Amino acid sequence: MSMMFRKQRFVLAGIALASITALPGCGLLVVGGTAATTAIVATDRRTTGEQVEDQAIELKTAAEMRRLFEDSARVNATSYAGVVVLTGDVPTEQAKTQAGEAAQKVEKVRRVVNELRVGALTPLSVRSNDTWLTSKVKTALINTKEVPSRTITVTTERGVVYLLGKVTQTEGQRAATVASSVKGVNKVVKLFHYVAAESLVTDPVLNRTETQPADSAQPVTAPDTEVQAMPVQ
């Protein structure tokens, strides 16, 4: 192998690495046909498989909603560990029920929380404000100590903030309190998958915190809690 060829390989490898690390909050990266999810897993208590499944669930659910309603409804699907939250607008109660049933049939979905609103489509200005609120809540969570912000998913609909993630009871309450203090938030809905603090272990290699397997000596508690809402401060 010539010296010039080796230099070219090093340059190309450096460019590829720089491109990967420059992606903010990147999702799945496909490298040589293999999904590289270390960037996500290192800060998320879901398993690698759960993260991939959640992305697939959201894509499949979105496709199903477009097939069912085309432009007559606006349905957003947020999935965390197989729990799907539906938000948006549908024209009738029948359509709301239909959307929930369709989402439940999507592969790997364990539970559907149907928060769809029956009525006219929400104005773009309100949706833009929801996006801004989501950003502010995420920032507030990141800036709060002892809140595992990287494993908490945030979505907002008409000022109502939905929080999903694998957290302890204390972490969940603290996160909800922080979210409720953000100006403009109307209500916070907790859809957490609660785990025992003892079930959290730290991987010294990846410097991440994750939950032990279900058959571990420290079981996961209250995996499917009821919808819990709290007023804003």
Identify the domain boundary among 118, 144, 172.
118
Residue 144: DSSP 8-state: S
Q: Please give the model's pTM, rounded to 2 decimal places.
A: 0.72
For residue 120, give every residue at least 6 positions away whose Cβ sits within 8 Å of its Cβ, in sequence order, or none. Answer: 89
Identify the domain boundary among 86, 118, 150.
118
pLDDT given at position 137: 98
**pLDDT band, very low/low/confident/very high, at 199 (cuts 50, 70, 90):** confident
pLDDT for 122-162, tens place per residue?
999 999 999 999 999 999 999 999 999 999 999 999 999 99
**Same domain assignment for residues 111 and 135:** no
Instruction: Provide the CATH number for the domain around residue 90.
Output: 3.30.1340.30
Burial 184-201 (b: 16+ CB within 10 A, else e): ebeebbbbbbbbeeebbe
pLDDT for 88-113, tens place per residue?
999 999 999 999 999 999 999 999 99
**Same domain assignment for residues 132 and 111:** no
